[in-house]
Amino acid sequence: FAGKTAFEEALVDSVADQFADYLTEVKPYFLVVFGITKTDNLEKLKKDVLLPGRAKLLRFVTNFLKKSKS
């Protein structure tokens, strides 16, 4: 899955890195959802953490796929 050339490997790595960044960014929200931590305002956490993180990841994936030749 890593690609046949160094360039393809770099592309795969960039997608994996973006997803890892997304998981790190939205972790506070999911820690609350899964009951590991607590908050008084889950909706605020959703608005301030989850939705912007999701938008950033989807923007990256959309741009990546638009540039893809397959």
Is position 1 within any domain?
Answer: no
Q: What is the domain-level CATH number for residue 24?
A: 1.20.1050.10
- Give the model confidence (pLDDT) of 7-59 as tens digits: 889 988 999 999 999 999 999 999 999 999 999 999 999 999 999 999 999 99
Write the burial class of residue 26 (CB in 10 Å: 0-12 exposed, 13-18 middle, 19+ buried): buried
Residue 32 CA to residue 37 CA, distance in Å, equals: 5
Domain that holds residue 52: 6-67
Tokens of 6: 């160094």
pLDDT of residue 2 exceeding 80, the answer is no
Q: Quick one: pLDDT at residue 29?
A: 98
Q: Give residue 68's pLDDT.
A: 84
Please indicate, yes or no, if residue 56 is contained in any of the structural domains.
Answer: yes
The count of domains in the chain is 1
Looking at residue 3, its pLDDT comes to 75
